[in-house]
Amino acid sequence: MTALMAALAGKLLDKKGARLPIIIGIIASLTSLILMNVLAPLSNLAIVLLYVLYYGGYGMCFGSLMTSGLITLGKASHAQGNAIFNTLQQFSGALGTAL
């Protein structure tokens, strides 16, 4: 689901800029998280559908954020920006797992 939404977000990014796919992705992800918390005793199907919505929003948001962030750097700094972004992502994942 994330890969499909990332492809759709890439097309939206090319046509409308980074703002639209980022906003749609954040709204979709937050909506699914709120519904998971409000509707706590959910069936398995409802949980799966809400996770699909969450990761669909994540797919729309993640690539667009990375692309718009790297665009602000000069071409000479793209490799360093990408390396820092990936390092921080791995560090955050490890920190979240440890906590």
- pLDDT tens across the length of the chain (99 residues): 778 888 888 888 889 888 999 999 999 999 999 998 888 788 889 889 999 999 999 888 888 888 888 888 888 888 898 899 889 989 999 999 998
Cα separation, 24 vs 57, in Å, equals 7
pLDDT number for residue 65: 87
pLDDT at 26: 94
Q: Which of 50, 56, 23, 21 is nearest to 34 (CA)?
A: 50
Please report where in the chains the tokens 């990375």 appear, as a residue. 66
Other Cβ atoms closer than 10 A to 16: 10
Q: How many CB atoms within 10 Å of residue 81?
A: 16
The pLDDT value recorded for residue 90 is 94
